[in-house]
Amino acid sequence: MSAFPLLFSPFSIGGLEIRNRIFSTGHQTLIQTGGLPNEGLAAYHEARARGGTGLIITEAMCVHESAYFNEAMIFGYRDEAQPGLRSITEAVHRHGGRVFGQLFHPGAEVLGSDPYGTRTITWAPSSLNHERYFGTTRELPDDLIVDIIEGYGLTAERMVEAGYDGVEIVASHGYLPAQFLSPMVNLRSDRWGGSRENRQRFLLEVARTVRARVPAGTVLGLRISLDEKDHIGLKPDEALAALAALEDEGLVDYMNIAYGSSASSGGARHIAPPMMIEAGYMKEAGATVKRAMKTPILLAGRFNQPQLAEAALASGAADMIGMTRAQIADPEMANKAREGRIDDIRACIACNQACIGHVSLGTPISCIQHPETGRELTYGTRVPAQKPLRVIVAGGGPAGMKAAAVAAERGHKVSLCEAAPRLGGQTLLAQQLPGRAEFGGIVTNLAREMELAGVEVRLSTPVTAELAAGEGADAVVVATGAQPFVPVVEGSEEGHVVTAWQVINREVNCGGSVVVADWRGDWVGVGIAQMLALEGRRVRFMTSAHCAGINLQPYVRDMIVAELMRLGVTITTYARLAGVDADTAYFEQTTSGEAILAEDTETVVLALGHRSEDSLKDALKAAGIATHVIGDALAPRTCEEAVLDGLKAGTVL
């Protein structure tokens, strides 16, 4: 019997049988060519269908030309999209999965520029200033509203033609149908606004139109945020009233419950909740809707392990559980759970770095732990090595671990040697920053990948050319990482200047008043500031960038910056460290060169990046041993690039 009997029991929605209760929610992949679904997108979904998921809901697709969000959006009604959509549905069906398509109009939630960078007109029920995208929206005229509703119907029809089993109206996360529902956003006094009945009209008309246009037997669902968690968004009473109206008319076959809204930084974090938000936290939302409705309930948000999903089903919080990033991180998650191979699951750590982080950057999604994601056509299958080699990997951080696992999976004989007594490299530091403990999961997951692949691991063993030669190594992967960058700081002999690593390792006493000098704009600077402030110290955070945490995925950044503010940390931007003395840190304003003084400073903490530690490569070259330098040893970047380098090295060996 399965360890997860509920999760792996079949379920029927609108007469359509689904093999289990796991689904992948609609998520933007940006795997496309010119706004059209491509071969890569079909391969991406095929990997998850092969991996055992019951249902895949593909990404939000635009229903009307006024829904222009950016160039990468797929317009589901276009003829040119049909072949690509068909490839997706065929790929999912080939492996026994079901597939639904999302019907999307963002309304006010548009980035707001065309392919030339020129601002577009953004439409919404009423005129408003958008807090995140800085557009002033234009009130939708009646005829355009009617046309958009037709667009939902047409797009649904085209999706079914392409082989979709069902369609889902995206009324979640503050998008157009939710904008009509919200009394704070919809300020109209015509038939589309004012009373609750009028505010619900748009959504109900959309549902009726779609129902009328798709063949009988096509599943129609709705995604909605029970609570948009911001100052203007939907609250549970409005959301539940809309669901009741849909249920009364029997318009939808399922309700897919979320939290959050794209309209504000407070609401947006719930679109893809970062690790600071507790796993499984959506259970209560599901239970609330389940108590109120008879329609099947789908639920998603931070369910990263089958145990959590099973518990949510057992508590009656939902009928199916969305595990989206869980399957971005591990496309085989469902199969592994069904077979009871729990330890083999590469659990998502909710870092948001390469999935939604890439969407924020406008690039195709991937996963920091599994860079094969989004690169299925290139790295989807391991090609066995033509000739098994003896491979030594020097360094047990993420780059080395991934290289070792992949090389061993391909048939090489691999030993990984780590100079420290533990695997993990910089991850061991990163996981100690406040709210970042889950980051350490990457070490557990990669260690398991190595174990399954048969890598021999030697701890407290630095690699030398002699060791490699003695082992008869055909190749050495140099993944020896980096060390903190410590520039020459004028006056540092007088002042107390330490590195972020020393602070995390508790090697120094920072005193009561600390200045953090940040350059990289990543987790380290803001994390150290938070850590020291939590210890009750006065902290000033000075960054050379124009905002704190500039290189963090926005939801992650917003949460950490909010925490810094709550803790009373002062943030100064455009500030480059220039010097220190016994009690003052001196900064230059990066644009004007003017001095910024931080007086009464006891310690300056440097969060100024790293320099590669790659000295081993020269000794290996001198000994005539082939070397592959990867990760931070090649160029200090993030864990994402380290793991990708490891994948590439393991593949070419």
Ligand X SMILES: Cc1cc2nc3c(=O)[nH]c(=O)nc-3n(C[C@H](O)[C@H](O)[C@H](O)COP(=O)(O)O)c2cc1C
Interface of this chain with ligand X, residues 210 to 229, rule: CB under 6 A: 223
d(CA 389, CA 75): 48
When asked if residue 68 is in the footprint of ligand X (CB under 6 A), the reply is no
149 binds, among ligand SF4, ligand X, none (CB under 5 to 8 A by kind): none
When asked if residue 349 is in the footprint of ligand SF4 (CB under 6 A), the reply is yes
Residue selected from 45, 269, 302, 325 as contacting ligand SF4 according to rule CB under 6 A = 325
Residue with tokens 């200033």: 129
Residue selected from 18, 85, 345, 355 as contacting ligand SF4 according to rule CB under 6 A = 355
Candidates 89-97, 239-247, 298-306, 416-424: pick the segment binding ligand X (CB under 6 A). Answer: 298-306
When asked if residue 27 is in the footprint of ligand X (CB under 6 A), the reply is yes
Residue selected from 25, 369, 415, 543 as contacting ligand SF4 according to rule CB under 6 A = 369
When asked if residue 359 is in the footprint of ligand X (CB under 6 A), the reply is yes
**With contact defined as beta carbons under 8 Å apart, do 584 and 597 qualify?**
yes
Nearest to 349 by CA among 367, 371, 322: 367
Residue 528's SS3 state is: helix
d(CA 186, CA 128): 10
When asked if residue 354 is in the footprint of ligand SF4 (CB under 6 A), the reply is yes
Q: Which is nearer to ligand X, 46 or 59 (CB)?
A: 59
Interface of this chain with ligand SF4, residues 388 to 427, rule: CB under 6 A: none
Q: Which residues of 121-142 are buried (b: 16+ CB within 10 A; e: fewer)?
A: ebbbbbebebebbebebebbee
d(CA 407, CA 391): 8
Candidates 86-94, 318-326, 411-419, 455-463: pick the segment binding ligand X (CB under 6 A). Answer: 318-326
When asked if residue 25 is in the footprint of ligand X (CB under 6 A), the reply is yes
Residue selected from 301, 398, 424, 631 as contacting ligand X according to rule CB under 6 A = 301
Residue selected from 171, 309, 328, 639 as contacting ligand SF4 according to rule CB under 6 A = 328
Structure tokens, 425: 């490299």
The radius of gyration of the chain's CA atoms, rounded to the nearest angstrom, is 26
When asked if residue 277 is in the footprint of ligand SF4 (CB under 6 A), the reply is no
When asked if residue 295 is in the footprint of ligand X (CB under 6 A), the reply is no
When asked if residue 320 is in the footprint of ligand X (CB under 6 A), the reply is no
**With contact defined as beta carbons under 8 Å apart, do 642 and 397 qualify?**
yes
Q: Which residues of 428-448 are buried (b: 16+ CB within 10 A; e: fewer)?
A: bbbbbbbbbebbbbbbebbbb
Residue 132's SS3 state is: coil
When asked if residue 367 is in the footprint of ligand SF4 (CB under 6 A), the reply is yes
Beta strands in 436-518 (DSSP E): 456-458, 475-478, 482-484, 497-499, 513-518
> Residue 342's Cα: distance from chain center in Å?
22
Distance in Å, CB of 449 to ligand SF4, minimum? 14
Distance in Å, CB of 418 to ligand SF4, minimum? 22
When asked if residue 30 is in the footprint of ligand SF4 (CB under 6 A), the reply is no
Q: Which is nearer to ligand SF4, 367 or 528 (CB)?
A: 367
When asked if residue 375 is in the footprint of ligand X (CB under 6 A), the reply is no
When asked if residue 325 is in the footprint of ligand X (CB under 6 A), the reply is yes
Give the number of residues in contact with ligand X, rule: CB under 6 A.
26
When asked if residue 323 is in the footprint of ligand X (CB under 6 A), the reply is yes
Q: Which is nearer to ligand X, 68 or 519 (CB)?
A: 68
165 binds, among ligand X, ligand SF4, none (CB under 5 to 8 A by kind): none
In the stretch 81-100, what mask flags binding to ligand X with x, by CB under 6 A?
--------------------
**With contact defined as beta carbons under 8 Å apart, do 200 and 277 qualify?**
no
Interhelix angle 236-248/283-292, nearest 10 degrees: 40
Distance in Å, CB of 541 to ligand X, minimum? 28
Structure tokens, 544: 């050379």
351 binds, among ligand SF4, ligand X, none (CB under 5 to 8 A by kind): ligand SF4
When asked if residue 26 is in the footprint of ligand X (CB under 6 A), the reply is yes
Distance in Å, CB of 303 to ligand X, minimum? 6
Structure tokens, 303: 């369910």
What are the DSSP calls for 424-440, one per residue? -TTHHHHTTSTT-GGGG
Residue selected from 60, 169, 516, 531 as contacting ligand X according to rule CB under 6 A = 60
Residue selected from 210, 356, 479, 585 as contacting ligand X according to rule CB under 6 A = 356
d(CA 362, CA 372): 18
Distance in Å, CB of 171 to ligand X, minimum? 10
Partner residues linked to 100 by β-bridges: 57, 166
In sequence order, the 6+-apart residues with CB closer than 8 A to the CB of 99 are 45, 49, 55, 56, 57, 58, 88, 89, 92, 93, 163, 164, 165, 166
d(CA 181, CA 159): 26
Distance in Å, CB of 360 to ligand X, minimum? 9
Distance in Å, CB of 460 to ligand SF4, minimum? 29
Q: Which is nearer to ligand SF4, 367 or 475 (CB)?
A: 367
The long-range contacts involving 594-602, CB below 8 angstroms and separated by at least 24 positions, are 596/542, 596/572, 598/515, 598/540, 598/542, 600/513, 601/495, 601/513, 601/514, 601/515, 601/540, 602/496, 602/510, 602/511, 602/512, 602/513, 602/514
**With contact defined as beta carbons under 8 Å apart, do 49 and 90 qualify?**
no
What phi and psi values does residue 168 have, to the nearest 5 degrees?
A: -130, 125
Structure tokens, 323: 């595990």
234 binds, among ligand SF4, ligand X, none (CB under 5 to 8 A by kind): none
Candidates 175-183, 347-355, 380-388, 412-420: pick the segment binding ligand SF4 (CB under 6 A). Answer: 347-355
d(CA 267, CA 546): 23
When asked if residue 351 is in the footprint of ligand SF4 (CB under 6 A), the reply is yes
Beta strands in 260-389 (DSSP E): 297-300, 320-322
Distance in Å, CB of 351 to ligand SF4, minimum? 4
Residue selected from 298, 321, 329, 473 as contacting ligand SF4 according to rule CB under 6 A = 329
Candidates 19-27, 479-487, 625-633, 634-642: pick the segment binding ligand X (CB under 6 A). Answer: 19-27
Nearest to 572 by CA among 537, 604, 539: 539
Q: Which is nearer to ligand X, 109 or 632 (CB)?
A: 109
Footprint of ligand X (CB under 6 A)? 25-28, 59-60, 102, 170, 172, 223, 258, 271-272, 300-303, 322-326, 355-356, 359, 365
Footprint of ligand SF4 (CB under 6 A)? 325, 328-329, 348-355, 367-369
